[in-house]
A and B are shown apart, each in its own frame.
Chain A
Amino acid sequence: MIEFRHVVKTYPNGTKALDDFSITIGDGEFVFIEGSSGAGKSTLIKLLMCEERASEGEIYVNDFDLMRMPRRQIPRLRRTMGVVFQDFRLIESMTVYENVAFAMQVVGASNRVIRRRVPYILDLVALTDKARCRPIELSGGEQQRVALARALVNNPQAIIADEPTGNIDPVMSFEIVELLSAINRQGTTVVMVTHETELAAKFDKRTVAIENGRLVHDSSSMGGSGR
């Protein structure tokens, strides 16, 4: 469950990135968050990950109260979410397998569990035969699938995808969203931030639009699909 109540975020330089922003995303939902650049999408993700703290309002993410949570709790919060970025953020010196295993090592999983889990996840994103490749040998779509595998491997409650299709071609983009839908069908909440409204329109999902830091449209409140 992700809940923003009347959230305001003002940066030290005076920029108001979010203004009285409220949204509730239930467990197992799939939501597209649309908006042009500068609309406040990135700030939304930063607040979700507790990379930034809101100036006003209330934020609850997977039972964490982000406004009152001490700093040392942040790693626990982040373990409930898997993040995918536009620029993939894979480590070039590691193979596909190692990139995914790395996320498990960081949270202290044992080697036995890692050896069992990573091949399973790579199979899920159809990258088993690329396990030994390095990111540079892969296409953009494949790299994003590795990033998705890394986000999924610790079995998060939610996947947060920040413009995951921004750097890949339309066909691959469609595949990535389909993959996210498949993951969502397993019960994982998916929040995908994008500026590609046409791509989002191809899927019958809840769509939320932000403009100048305010929520201007929510398909769920207009009788659109909730899932």
Chain B
Amino acid sequence: MNTLSKIPYLLREGLHNLWSNRLMSVSSIGVLGVCLLLISNAVLISNNINGMISQIGNEDAIVVYLQDGTSAEDAEAFGGELLKIENVEAVEYISSKAALDSWKEILSEYPDILEGIDEDFLPASYSITVIDLEKVDETLKQLESMEEISSIREMTELRDQLIGIRRAVSAALYGIVVVLFAVSLFIIANTIKLAMYSRRKEISIMKYVGGTDWFIRIPFVVEGFFIGLIAALLAFFVQWYVYQYVITQLVTSINFVTPIAFGSFSGTLLLSLCAGGALVGMAGSLVSIRKYLRV
């Protein structure tokens, strides 16, 4: 009597349960699939919003103006120093001349305003792209201690608003995920309860001939596992379609941001959905079996 020899039997029993309760199985796969799909949509939409916020906020979050008279070489070397700061992702050097040129472009309709101004009238600057918007305060402290910098400009208000939006999106996401997981668990638990009810006679016989609790449980856990897995696969393929044709279109319509490509996260999404579905399936079974095993 080894444990391995029982595995085919237990698997077969689980699939048998799935099939003999097929109406219930199909409906729980459907509802669970919808739950998983909603969860994954919530995650993807929030990821895209976060991506958007990063695109808007992180880029050129801080502009530092260099001291007057900093030579081109010193300025270049200083760029390297800036990149060493933890939260700095990229820096862009804007020379005095480049700064003046961009103003000339902006004021091209009034060319006389900037007439006769020296090329080094405006200070040279670095535009800094940060990694994490929420760590900008620390970055600013580090920048303030640098002698090469004469002044710093950053958009505190915009930054706070973006951080606020991002936090709200994350909180909503967690809320949605928790509620939908609870709903999924409830659905699976009910299906398994019905499966157990229809097999209560077998279960009682199993108990009388000395079947262990785990031996009786496993087929139902297997059933829950497959319900979760099938629901996850369905959700993944529907998600693929929905993402390509709905979310992508929606994000693209906001014309200055690019949506995250489905291919870049499809593997992770598939794995997470399958793991989540299977886990909820098994947990749901275990919840409903507990009561029935007291013979």
Contact = CB atoms under 8 A, between A and B. Distances in A.
Interface string A152-186: 00100000000000000000000000000000000
Interface residues of A, number: 23
B146 interface: no
A209 interface: no
Interface stretch (A11-19, A24-32, A75-83, A199-207): A75-83
A176 B286 CA distance: 41
Given A51-B295, A75-B211, A75-B212, A106 B201 contact: no
A154 B209 CA distance: 9
Interface string B205-236: 11111111101000000000000000000000
B211 A107 contact: yes
Contact of A108 (B6, B207, B213): B6
Contacts of A107: 1, 209-211
Q: For B2, B3, B5, which residue has the most chain A Cβ atoms within 10 angstroms?
A: B5
A89 B208 CA distance: 11
Contact of A91 (B2, B202, B215, B295): B202
Given A91-B201, A91-B202, A110 B210 contact: no
Contacts of B208: 49, 78, 83, 89
Nearest to A107: B210
A102 B9 CA distance: 10
Interface string A97-123: 000001101111111000000000000
B178 to A, nearest CB: 34
Given A75-B210, A76-B210, A79-B210, A110 B5 contact: yes
A150 interface: yes
A157 to B, nearest CB: 12
Contacts of A105: 9
A111 B1 CA distance: 10
Interface in B177-219: 201-202, 204-213, 215
Interface of B: 1-3, 5-6, 9, 201-202, 204-213, 215, 295
Interface of A: 49, 51, 72, 75-79, 82-83, 89, 91, 102-103, 105-111, 150, 154
